[in-house]
């Protein structure tokens, strides 16, 4: 079982270079960061899992750009994988994103894991150019366009949400044909499994318990069978909520259910010593000597 760690906030106080370097030293397989370019002060949306009207957690306001944060981590590490949990695709220009992702993957020698999502905040999505009501259609269009940009010397794409003539876009990703595309989000929406089977490479949901994760894997297997996709090609990550999946028995149960990776949520508030100390405690509990 691969075990990764995630910081919801990764700035000067919780420096991604320091955290990722220590995570690599401790033996963690991957380091992950989150994405919110802006969040509106006034919003009609509630943070997932929280009651309507409940203020969003403070760490959501303090996130730097995840691709830039991971580039700083790439510069001081050699082996640890670097992931976004998740990159909000509708809120980013796909031509620019394709170039940034390829630059990160090339610089890290193929260590980027492209966890993606469509976002939950309407106002944030729309002010950054997303079509909130049709955001997953936009995600698909953008990702398919990026795949062309990553694979072809000269590429073009003509879709509903992005349309461009032949262009050259370099560098190309180190990993071929491109970094793995892993779908985040809630674990119970069956439409996500169809999307993964058709044009994704992995599932990395937030789930409330082992039963929900195991049921999701059954749905994923069914979707792969229907699409003629090899289920074993799909990575299966349990992306933890704060405090979740911390006991060895829980991790063993996830592996028995079919997970090949678990990502554990580190403290969202500094100082960095708190984050490093908790990461060391997790490593002692789950990674062994």
Q: Residue 255: its pLDDT value, please?
A: 98
Contact 138, 90 (CB under 8 A): yes
Q: Residue 187: its pLDDT value, please?
A: 59
Q: Residue 122: its pLDDT value, please?
A: 95
Q: Which domains does the chain have, with CATH numbers?
A: 2-287 (3.20.20.30)
Residues 6 or more apart whose Cβ sits within 8 Å of residue 185:
86, 117, 118, 192, 205, 206
Q: Residue 190: its pLDDT value, please?
A: 78
Q: How many residues does the chain have?
A: 289
User: What pTM was computed for the model?
Assistant: 0.96
DSSP 231: G
State whether residue 74 is helix, strand or coil: helix
Residues of the chain with pLDDT under 50: none
The candidate with the shortest Cα–Cα distance to 235, out of 206, 207, 261, is: 261
Contact 275, 286 (CB under 8 A): no
Does residue 171 have a cis bond before it (omega within 30 degrees)? Answer: yes
Contact 230, 224 (CB under 8 A): yes
Q: Residue 188: its pLDDT value, please?
A: 59
In angstroms, rounded to a whole number, what is the distance separating the alpha carbons of residues 234 and 230?
8
Q: Residue by residue, what is the 3-state secondary structure of 52-65?
A: CCCCCCHHHHHCCC
In angstroms, rounded to a whole number, what is the distance separating the alpha carbons of residues 189 and 122?
19
Q: Residue 289: its pLDDT value, please?
A: 64
């Amino acid at each position: 079982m691969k075990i990764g760690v995630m910081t919801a906030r990764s700035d000067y106080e919780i420096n991604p270079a320091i955290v990722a370097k220590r995570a690599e030293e401790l033996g963690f397989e991957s380091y992950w960061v989150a994405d919110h370019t802006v969040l509106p002060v006034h919003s009609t949306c509630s943070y997932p899992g929280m009651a309507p009207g409940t203020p969003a957690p403070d760490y959501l306001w303090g996130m730097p750009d995840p691709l830039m944060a991971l580039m700083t981590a790439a510069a001081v590490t050699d082996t640890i994988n670097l992931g976004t949990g998740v990159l909000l695709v509708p809120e980013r220009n796909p031509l620019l994103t394709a170039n940034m992702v390829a630059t990160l993957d090339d610089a890290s020698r193929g260590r980027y894991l492209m966890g993606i999502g469509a976002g939950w905040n309407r106002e944030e999505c729309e002010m950054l150019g997303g079509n909130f009501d049709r955001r997953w259609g936009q995600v698909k269009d953008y990702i398919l366009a990026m795949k062309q940009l990553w694979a072809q010397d000269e590429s073009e794409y003509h879709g509903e949400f992005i349309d461009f003539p032949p262009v050259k876009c370099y560098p190309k990703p180190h990993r071929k044909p491109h970094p793995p595309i892993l779908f985040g989000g809630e674990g119970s929406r069956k439409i996500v499994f169809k999307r993964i089977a058709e044009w994704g490479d992995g599932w990395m949901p937030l789930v409330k318990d082992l039963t929900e994760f195991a049921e999701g894997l059954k749905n994923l297997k069914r979707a792969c069978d229907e699409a003629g996709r090899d289920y074993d090609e799909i990575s299966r990550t349990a992306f933890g909520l704060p405090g979740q999946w911390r006991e060895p028995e829980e991790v063993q149960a996830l592996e028995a259910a079919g997970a090949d990776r678990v990502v554990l949520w580190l403290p969202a508030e500094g100082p960095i010593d708190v984050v490093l100390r908790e990461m060391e405690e997790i490593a002692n509990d789950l990674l062994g000597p």
